[in-house]
Every structure is written in structure tokens, then in C-alpha cells.
Amino acid sequence: MTHNHEEDYMLIKALIERDDLASIGLIGSASKWASFEGRLKRDGYPTDQIARVRSPIGLIHATKLNNKTPYAIALTVVTELLWLTDTPSYRENRGLDSKALRALFTNAPTTTS
């Protein structure tokens, strides 16, 4: 996100209001998230919307990352996203199922030249 906590908070509010995001990652400290979470609750956001925010992003098995280089953070975020996309509760947001895809390809219009 940004180096401005107020701007980050406004971004998080805008993102949790969307219904097309299964998961929202926020980089930052646990205390930053605790502050944001409290504000979101006071602002009246439902628990299920707030629960979609993962902060800090890139936690592997709830273990804090010691290596703070952009490369290491990127790898842990990718690892976390792979885990999330393989979790059944997130599958409904992964696009078309195999049956729908098959129908698209089987009934695809053909062109003749």
C-alpha cells in the first residue's frame, strides 16, 4: 500500500466494500492492522467483510518473516495466495468451473474462410 496510514485505511475501506474480492492483503505491522480493524468495526463494517483482509500479508503458517527484502516478501505472498486458492472456501471466486469451460469450448463459434 502506501506510506500514509490514512490513505491506506481509505483504500482498505474501498476494497472491502467491493463484493468481487475474496481476499485483500495489507502489508504492515500487526499494530497497524489492529488499529484499522478497530476503526472498521467502529465505522460499522460487518465482521465477514473485515475478515477478508489478511494482514500482514505473506505469513506462512502464522510465522513472521525475518527477511524483509522485497524478493522474500513477494515469495511469501505468492505462497500464501497459492494456499488460499487451494482452500475450498475461496474456490467460488476462482472463475468458471470445468463444466462451464467445456461448454464454452464445445459450443464455440467456428469461422470458415
Q: What is the pLDDT of residues 50-59, one digit of tens each?
A: 999 988 887 7
What are 63-112's pLDDT values in tens digits? 777 787 888 888 888 888 887 776 555 545 455 566 766 666 666 555 55
Q: Which pTM value belongs to this model?
A: 0.64
Average pLDDT, the chain: 80
Q: How distant, in Å, are the alpha carbons of 28, 31, 58, 91 from that of 72?
A: 15, 21, 9, 26
Alpha-carbon distance 32 to 27, whole Å?
Answer: 9
- Per-residue confidence at 9, pLDDT binned at 50, 70, 90? very high
Name the residue with higher pLDDT: 8 or 1. Answer: 8
* Sequence ranges of the chain with CATH classification 3.40.50.720: 1-57
Reduce the DSSP state of residue 73 to 3 states and report it. helix
Instruction: State mean pLDDT over 11-37.
Output: 90
- Per-residue confidence at 38, pLDDT binned at 50, 70, 90? very high
CA dihedral 53, 55, 59, 63 (to 10 degrees): -130
The third-level CATH classification (topology) of the domain covering 1-57 is Rossmann fold (3.40.50)
